[in-house]
Amino acid sequence: MSGRTHAGACPERTCVGCRERAAKIELLRTVAVEDACVPDPRGTLPGRGAYVHPALSCFDLAVRRRAFPRALRVPGPLDTKALRQYVEQEESCQQHPAGQATP
């Protein structure tokens, strides 16, 4: 026996930042496109994917640990500007839901 139960059979992935396991739908998939690490929120881009919580703390930890190139199996560093912008936008949307005024 593997010790796993099949009660909540949703796929799990590991965040490359904090290294915690979470449901696939809670994480943001990223892929390498040329020399950049880009977000793939729909999970449809081709190639190997790496998963990270859509939070700046996990993103920064992954960048510091150089986790994206390792997880995506690419040589050398990746440009993460587009991914950072996406995560910042996601965090601000979660902090200020639609219909609420921002100070």
What's the pLDDT tens digit per position in 38-76? 999 999 999 999 999 999 999 999 999 999 999 999 999
Range of the structural domain that residue 84 is part of: 12-95
Instruction: Give the C-alpha separation, 26 to 13, whole Å.
Output: 9
* b/e code 39-64 from CB counts within 10 Å (16+ = b): bbeeeeeeeebbbbbbbeebbebbbe
CATH assignment of the domain containing 21: 3.30.1230.10
Chain-wide mean pLDDT for the chain? Answer: 89
Q: Where are the beta strands (DSSP E) in the chain?
A: 12-14, 21-23, 28-33, 36-39, 49-52
The answer to the question of residue 75 being in a domain is: yes
- The pLDDT score that the predictor gives to residue 1 is 45
Query: Would you say 13 and 49 are in contact if contact means Cβ atoms under 8 Å apart?
Result: no
Instruction: Say what the pTM is.
Output: 0.82
Split at pLDDT 50, 70, 90, the class of 3 is: low
Count of structural domains within the chain: 1
